[in-house]
Amino acid sequence: MLNLQLFLFILSHLSYCALAATADQWRGRSIYQVVTDRYALPPNAPNSTCDPGQQTWCGGTWNSITANLDYIQNAGFTAVWISPVSQNWEGPRTPYGDAYTGYWVQDISQLNEHFGTSDDLKALSSALHSRGMYLMVDVVINNVMALSTKPDYSNYFLKDASQYHPYCPVDWGNRTSEMNCWLGDTKVTLPDVNTTNPTVVSAYQQWIQQFVQEYSVDGLRIDAAKHVNADFWPGFCQAAGIFCMGEVFGNDIGECAEYQGVMDSVLNYPIYDALVQAFQIPGPGNMTGLVEVMKQSQQSYRDVTVLGNFLENQDNPRWTNISVDPQSMYNAITYNFMSDGIPIVYYGQEQRLNGNNDPWNRGPLWPTGYVNSSTYQLITTLNTFRNFLVNTTDWATSNTSVLTIGPNELAIMKGSVISVLTNVGSPPQNSSIAVYTPYPQSAALLDIFTCVQYAVGSNGAVEVSYASGGQAVVLIPSVYLAGSGLCGYTKNANIKVNNKGSKGSLESSAPATAGIPSLIAMALVSLVFATSSILVS
Ligand SMILES: *[C@@H]1O[C@H](CO)[C@@H](O)[C@H](O)[C@H]1NC(C)=O
Ligand SMILES: *[C@@H]1O[C@H](CO)[C@@H](O)[C@H](O)[C@H]1NC(C)=O
Ligand SMILES: *[C@@H]1O[C@H](CO)[C@@H](O)[C@H](O)[C@H]1NC(C)=O
Ligand SMILES: *[C@@H]1O[C@H](CO)[C@@H](O)[C@H](O)[C@H]1NC(C)=O
Ligand SMILES: *[C@@H]1O[C@H](CO)[C@@H](O)[C@H](O)[C@H]1NC(C)=O
Ligand SMILES: *[C@@H]1O[C@H](CO)[C@@H](O)[C@H](O)[C@H]1NC(C)=O
Ligand SMILES: *[C@@H]1O[C@H](CO)[C@@H](O)[C@H](O)[C@H]1NC(C)=O
Ligand SMILES: *[C@@H]1O[C@H](CO)[C@@H](O)[C@H](O)[C@H]1NC(C)=O
Ligand SMILES: *[C@@H]1O[C@H](CO)[C@@H](O)[C@H](O)[C@H]1NC(C)=O
């Protein structure tokens, strides 16, 4: 009986892997998002000041990212998303400063010299791969950048004016206009590429195929994806041959789901909005709204487990700017790590950088000294735990469900993990929440943050108190923590991530036998699970 279960367990993993391998590989990853110009200074560079208000280059390069990967990997991240690498418009300062973020693309087929050479980018890619990490590159397809509504395109990748839509300002809410008209304004225009033109389609496909191969890229973050006709993306992502995650700005789940229909994943803007509404302090504290968005997402998307979950990015305010109490971020970030989707942390979030919108949300990281801050430690714990669950169980593909909802509390469960979240903030409260769990009486659950043990009561309930403030609590039966490296359990170094039937660029560098020990490890772990669930139930 047990042997049959084991056999089915292994079989289900093997057959699962054969489908949609690249999204499957990314599902268990955890992404650190970097604006190349702002992450780190090159070695030996003077400790220069960088005023984000100046909107100019501060000196970060691909080499300086490569030299500072320990900081990212030590926090448990398994992938890095870097800002666009393509050549940008070069010229006099615009009313909005210089092209330091990389989104003002002119020739997508050339690299941006401000950030390094072709060899430097290759070195970053191989440094990540040798650490077992993935490289995600941000690409801007929808538009280029110019300073007029009738630009001279002779220095652009697409040189013919007929390859662009004629100028019109976007009429928001009109989808045709959102796709064909120009983002930006008339001071800095973003000429809209005609992505239905067959010459454009094939030029982009040839470029991306060659680019992904040359730099061994593992995933793409696609800027302004919803401003491009949806039927452009399947051919483009197929030519790329790797995981595609599109930016579909706004809280319209239907629109996001439509774009996940044409690429692997989208950034989870609807959940981001709901998290702000639920956890921001002061704020509406709308926990029922978060649950509604979560349930509607599960019904609408093709696959919620590969969406990109975030709290900050280069277009939205830093969380700490809109909600100063650190517990508000800690609870919201725990939702992103412990529910469905791929967690994304924007550089500097771990140091609680506090700028508002563009350009204040793009401050330099170096003034923080890259210290092991309490936020950095919390994120490290979440990554360590999630990597462990992902490496050893099918947690990543399991569904999140709601256990208990209170006026200021929400308890969710994904796989065997229960996360109890609150928006009451740091001050001690004379309150607690009873969370109804499926675990039997006297089962011992551990909180991964404090390692405090919670005993399940007679009705399956666990009582979480806020007497020392509104901290997030993440509970798992203590027997399941063996091998995790958390709460005194030693880390089982032999359990490695399983690159299930990779079709991504890591495949070639992975030893041919890598899958076999990990299958044995999974089988052993499932034995432990089978045994412990018998003990618990
Ligand atoms: C939507 O925008 C398109 C493109 O600008 C325009 O042709 C069309 O008339 C607009 N539709 C409506 C209903 O305004
Ligand atoms: C885009 O290009 C196609 C093919 O060249 C053309 O038929 C179409 O009219 C163009 N679209 C717009 C809105 O200019
Ligand atoms: C809470 O969020 C839901 C879903 O977005 C919304 O329908 C509801 O009006 C919100 N309630 C409050 C009090 O803001
Ligand atoms: C929010 O950001 C703005 C601009 O960066 C800054 O002036 C303000 O002090 C920040 N507020 C908080 C609460 O951090
Ligand atoms: C750079 O300067 C900032 C103060 O502006 C300081 O906090 C930081 O530690 C310095 N970093 C290094 C590497 O010297
Ligand atoms: C950060 O500090 C914590 C607590 O002391 C420690 O366990 C962890 O190893 C440190 N992380 C790094 C990268 O030094
Ligand atoms: C899980 O996989 C990651 C990435 O390969 C690795 O760094 C980590 O050590 C693994 N964790 C465990 C608990 O095996
Ligand atoms: C998760 O939910 C989806 C949609 O509700 C369902 O199709 C899928 O089978 C569920 N997966 C698991 C592992 O329960
Ligand atoms: C806490 O709340 C309970 C019931 O709401 C009340 O009886 C008790 O006095 C309160 N304790 C404190 C210290 O405020």
What local confidence, expressed as pLDDT, does residue 525 receive?
A: 35
Of the ligands numbered here, which is closest to the C-alpha atom of 173? Answer: 1
Give 2's pLDDT tier (boundaries 50, 70, 90).
very low
What local confidence, expressed as pLDDT, does residue 48 receive?
A: 78
Task: Return the amino acid letter for 340.
Answer: D
What local confidence, expressed as pLDDT, does residue 310 receive?
A: 98
374 lines ligand 6 (CB under 6 A): no
Is it the case that residue 512 has pLDDT exceeding 60?
Answer: no
Give 472's pLDDT tier (boundaries 50, 70, 90).
very high
Atom number in ligand 7 closest to CA 494? 14
Atom number in ligand 5 closest to CA 47? 1
What local confidence, expressed as pLDDT, does residue 255 receive?
A: 97
Beta strands in 415-531 (DSSP E): 417-422, 432-436, 444-447, 453-455, 461-465, 473-477
Give 47's pLDDT tier (boundaries 50, 70, 90).
confident
Mean pLDDT of the region 17-39: 83
Mutation test residue for ligand 4: of 51, 320, 353, 354, the one with most atoms within 8 Å of CB: 354
Q: Mean pLDDT score of the chain, rounded to an integer?
A: 90
Q: Per residue in 345-374, pLDDT tens? A: 999 999 999 999 999 999 999 999 999 999
Task: Give 296's contacts (C-beta < 8 A, 6+ positions apart).
Answer: 253
Backbone angles phi, psi at 51, to 5 degrees: -95, 110
Tokens of 242: 């790797």
Q: Per residue in 266-276, pLDDT tens? A: 999 999 999 99
Element (H, E) at 405: strand 400-405
3-state SS of 86-142 is EEECCCCCECCECCCCCCCEEEEEEECHHHCCHHHHHHHHHHHHHCCCEEEEEECCC
Give 393's pLDDT tier (boundaries 50, 70, 90).
very high
Please report how many Cα atoms fall inside a 13 Å half-sphere around the Cα of residue 446, on the Cβ side. 16
- CA neighbor of 219 nearest in space, from 155, 161, 282, 267: 267
Alpha-carbon gap, residue 329 to 320, rounded angstroms: 7
Q: Per residue in 279-314, pLDDT tens? A: 999 999 999 999 999 999 999 999 999 999 999 999
406 lines ligand 3 (CB under 6 A): no
Do residues 38 and 86 lie in contact, with contact meaning Cβ atoms separated by under 8 Å?
A: no
Atom number in ligand 1 closest to CA 174? 1
Active site residues per annotation: 223, 247
Angle at 463 between CA 459 and CA 467, to 5 degrees: 165
- Taking residue 358's Cβ as centre, other Cβ atoms within 10 Å add up to 15
Q: Per residue in 400-433, pLDDT tens? A: 999 999 999 999 999 999 999 999 999 999 999 9
Q: Per residue in 370-385, pLDDT tens? A: 999 999 999 999 999 9
Is it the case that residue 500 has pLDDT exceeding 80?
Answer: no
What local confidence, expressed as pLDDT, does residue 494 receive?
A: 58
Tell how far the Cα of 5 is from the centroid of ligand 9, in angstroms.
Answer: 51
What local confidence, expressed as pLDDT, does residue 495 receive?
A: 54
Of residues 281 and 17, which shows the higher confidence score? 281
491 lines ligand 7 (CB under 6 A): yes
The CATH code for residues 402-497 is 2.60.40.1180
Same fold, 31-136+197-394 and 402-497: no
Alpha-carbon gap, residue 248 to 262, rounded angstroms: 12
Going from the C-alpha of 280 to that of each of 168, 284, 291, the distances in angstroms are 37, 8, 16
- Residues 307, 491, 32, 254, Cα dihedral to 10°: 10
Mean pLDDT of the region 17-44: 84
Q: Does the model's pTM come out above 0.75? A: yes
Domain boundaries, the chain: 31-136+197-394, 402-497
Do residues 101 and 35 lie in contact, with contact meaning Cβ atoms separated by under 8 Å?
A: yes
Pick the range with the lowest mean pLDDT from 174-178, 281-285, 490-494, 521-525: 521-525
Pick the range with the lowest mean pLDDT from 341-350, 399-408, 434-443, 487-496: 487-496
What local confidence, expressed as pLDDT, does residue 194 receive?
A: 98
Of the ligands numbered here, which is closest to the C-alpha atom of 401? Answer: 8
Q: Per residue in 318-353, pLDDT tens? A: 999 999 999 999 999 999 999 999 999 999 999 999
Is it the case that residue 147 has pLDDT exceeding 60?
Answer: yes
Mean pLDDT of the region 434-462: 97
Angle at 487 between CA 486 and CA 492, to 5 degrees: 40
CATH homologous superfamily of domain 31-136+197-394?
A: Glycosidases (3.20.20.80)
Give 45's pLDDT tier (boundaries 50, 70, 90).
confident
Binding annotation for substrate: 55, 104, 221, 315, 362
